[in-house]
Amino acid sequence: MKYNPFKIIIWVLFLVFVLLNSVRLFIYGFVISFMIVIIDRAFFGTRKRSDTQFLNLFLTFTSIFTLFYTFSPFFRSIEFKISHPRWQKLEIVSVEKSVTQKVSTPFNFLEKEYTSISVNYIDEYGKIQIKGEEIKHYAILGFEPLFSKKTIENELDYIHSRSLNKLINKKAINVYQHPSKDKMKVFKGNDAFALRHSIGFQITLLITYILFVSFTVYCIYRFKQLAAAVKSSNIKEQKSAYIILLILLYSYLVVGITVVHYLKF
């Protein structure tokens, strides 16, 4: 049996990406994919395509759940509340911040700004308790001389201060207490999306930069072949060409948005 190295890499990255978040995401992806395949197989499809269809659906849905879980504080909080119905949500009295600190790196990779906060909450016995947490934001990934380190630091200062003040003013902290154990779970923020809280932001941006350069070079050198593939009657060739162009478009879009945002500072 021959194995496609590209598919193996995709599946390995997929497994690592999901496991770094929550194993429950596998369950959600499996259940939804299984239900769709069963319905399709019973009413529309055939047994022959079920295995491939299931794997594609499983990869797609689990990746979507993982994306939301990684970058959406609101989704993480709701998912935990639904999957842990016995955990008690505690009332937040106030949130206080401490001194902000910075981690600076030569190429801005892993560069971040973080602030320790004290969360004052009412426990299950009605007493006010304090829990220490940390709010962090990662910098835009950019390399000199294309990106100015000073500008990147100014942008990070702005993002961190704005998000931190918003979180404190709205007391946007969700604290859950285990029903029988001395165990707590804390979710910071209620935003639908908060890209900068996770190192996944920089990793995604780095991958996008690589795609931007490599696919641009590839499309320039293979322009005639791609143009022919788009017009080809061969569905497989046409599909491959469109996938390449979509990835290229995605990379241009993300890089463009990043540069425009960077230029504001």
Which pLDDT score is estimated for 158?
Answer: 92
> Using 50, 70 and 90 to split pLDDT, how confident is the model at 232?
confident
Cα separation values, 226 from 115, 241, 249, Å: 49, 6, 14
Contact 74, 192 (CB under 8 A): yes
User: Tokens representing 240?
Assistant: 């491959």
Q: Which residues pair with 96 in a beta bridge?
A: 118
Which pLDDT score is estimated for 230?
Answer: 80
173-177 sheet: strands from edge to edge: 128-138, 112-122, 88-103, 173-177, 184-188
SS3 61: helix
Q: What is the mean pLDDT of residues 200-217?
A: 87
Which pLDDT score is estimated for 184?
Answer: 87
Angle at 50 between CA 49 and CA 51, to 5 degrees: 100
Residue 126 CA to residue 123 CA, distance in Å, equals 5
Residues in the chain: 265
Task: Tell me the whole-structure pTM to 2 decimals.
Answer: 0.76
- Other C-beta atoms within 10 Å of 162: how many? 11
Angle at 110 between CA 190 and CA 256, to 5 degrees: 75
Task: Note the pLDDT tens digit of each residue in 36-53.
Answer: 888 777 776 655 565 677
Residue 63 CA to residue 17 CA, distance in Å, equals 8
Contact 116, 201 (CB under 8 A): no
Task: Note the pLDDT tens digit of each residue in 82-109.
Answer: 888 899 889 889 888 888 888 887 777 7
Q: What is the mean pLDDT of residues 243-250?
A: 87
What's the farthest any 2 CA atoms get from each other in the chain?
72
Residue 192 CA to residue 17 CA, distance in Å, equals 20
Cα–chain center distance at 160: 18
Residue 116 CA to residue 97 CA, distance in Å, equals 6
End-to-end Cα distance, the chain: 54
> Using 50, 70 and 90 to split pLDDT, how confident is the model at 1?
very low
Helix, strand, coil shares, percent, the chain, to 5: 60, 20, 25
Q: What does the domain layout of the chain look like in residue ranges? A: 5-71, 86-198, 202-263
Calculate the average pLDDT of the chain: 83
Task: Note the pLDDT tens digit of each residue in 156-202.
Answer: 999 999 988 988 888 888 889 988 888 888 888 878 778 788 887 88
Contact 87, 94 (CB under 8 A): no
Q: Is a pLDDT exceeding 50 seen at residue 254?
A: yes
